[in-house]
């Protein structure tokens, strides 16, 4: 066996070896599946490894997280946030999409018309882009006179808190009293409470409240809940 053959055999072995997890989970396409099968017929290292992948995979599948059924209150809150988002005017987005559609339109037009059409669409596109850019920089212009402010000034802040397992209800109440907070949601199946405290003028800054909570041995986790759901989802941008 010359060196060249040996090298290429080694390569095809590594290729097959790499693909074994997806051979094991049955998602390889026909061509790759066939080539792995061919290799398995002559490689006992890979046959052994396949066995390991299958055993391991079975164990991973058994690791069912006790995912709770969605709590009706959680869904309710989610739907409220959806309404909040829909009530908030947003700047025009998604310029890329109209452009793709427009260029597809140009592509299917007969040759003679295409140039003229393209020019017209380009002009329209530029206009749309200018308008959208203006809109993006001054979102306030979308408000109509009859519309209430999209996001009410927040007089409260919400926190997510998890108490340590041995915490008695009495201790919890004492802490809540100290921070002038009350439970608005929870405990969730994982023990997370949503606690509302006053914010804004006259109230302690949230950072002070959090510090107070975190300094207590009864609290294992305390974080502010982000206030604006629309900013949270906008952050994500285009996920394809």
Partner 1 sequence: MSGDEERVLLQRVAAKDRRAFERLYHLYYRRLFGYVFKLTRRAEIVEEVVNDVMLAIWTGAGRFGGRSRPSTWIFGIAHHTALKALRRFPLAMAEPAEDEPDLVVEEQPESLLNRRELQDLLGRAMSQLSAEQRAVVELTYFHEFSYQEIAEILACPENTVKTRMFHARRRLRDLLPQLGVSGSTG
The answer to whether 94 contacts partner 1 (rule: CB under 8 A) is yes
CA 109 – CA 239 distance, rounded (Å): 31
Q: How far is the CB of 138 from partner 1 (least distance, A)?
A: 21
For tokens 């402010």, name the residue. 149
H helix intervals, the chain: 3-24, 30-42, 44-62, 72-87, 96-108, 111-137, 169-179, 206-214, 229-234
192-198 and 156-163 as β-strands: parallel, antiparallel, unpaired? antiparallel
Q: How far is the CB of 87 from partner 1 (least distance, A)?
A: 12
The answer to whether 160 contacts partner 1 (rule: CB under 8 A) is yes
CA 209 – CA 215 distance, rounded (Å): 10
The answer to whether 151 contacts partner 1 (rule: CB under 8 A) is no
CA 175 – CA 155 distance, rounded (Å): 21
Burial profile 151-162: b = 16 or more Cβ within 10 angstroms, e = fewer: eeeeeebbbbbb
- Tell which positions 7-46 bind partner 1, by CB under 8 A: 13, 17-19, 21-22, 24-29, 43, 45-46
- How many residues touch partner 1 under the rule CB under 8 A: the total is 64
Q: How far is the CB of 21 from partner 1 (least distance, A)?
A: 5
Q: How far is the CB of 209 from partner 1 (least distance, A)?
A: 17
Q: How far is the CB of 200 from partner 1 (least distance, A)?
A: 23
Q: Which of 152, 190, 201, 217 binds partner 1 (CB under 8 A)?
A: 190
CA 177 – CA 200 distance, rounded (Å): 19
Q: Which residues bind to partner 1, rule: CB under 8 A?
A: 13, 17-19, 21-22, 24-29, 43, 45-46, 48-49, 51-53, 55-57, 59-65, 67-70, 74-75, 77-79, 81-82, 85-86, 94, 97, 160, 162, 188, 190-192, 221, 223, 225, 229-230, 232-236, 238-240
């Amino acid at each position: 066996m010359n060196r060249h053959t040996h090298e290429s055999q080694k390569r095809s072995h590594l290729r097959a070896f790499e693909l074994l997890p997806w051979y094991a989970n049955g998602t390889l396409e026909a061509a790759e599946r066939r080539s792995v099968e061919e290799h398995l017929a002559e490689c006992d290292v890979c046959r052994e490894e396949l066995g390991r992948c299958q055993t391991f995979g079975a164990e991973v599948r058994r690791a069912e997280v006790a995912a709770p059924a969605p709590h009706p209150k959680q869904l309710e809150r989610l739907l409220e946030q959806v309404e909040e988002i829909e009530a908030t005017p947003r700047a025009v987005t998604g310029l890329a999409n109209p452009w793709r559609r427009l260029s597809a339109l140009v592509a299917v037009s007969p040759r003679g018309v295409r140039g003229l059409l393209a020019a017209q669409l380009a002009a329209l596109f530029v206009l749309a882009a200018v308008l959208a850019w203006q809109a993006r920089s001054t979102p306030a212009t979308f408000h109509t006179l009859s519309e209430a402010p999209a996001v009410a000034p927040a007089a409260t802040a919400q926190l997510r808190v998890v108490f340590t397992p041995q915490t008695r209800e009495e201790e919890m109440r004492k802490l809540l009293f100290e921070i002038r907070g009350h439970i608005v949601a929870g405990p969730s199946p994982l023990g997370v409470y949503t606690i509302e405290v006053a914010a804004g003028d006259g109230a302690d800054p949230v950072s002070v409240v959090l510090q107070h909570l975190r300094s207590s041995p009864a609290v294992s986790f305390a974080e502010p809940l982000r206030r604006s759901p629309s900013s949270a989802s906008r952050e994500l941008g285009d996920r394809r």
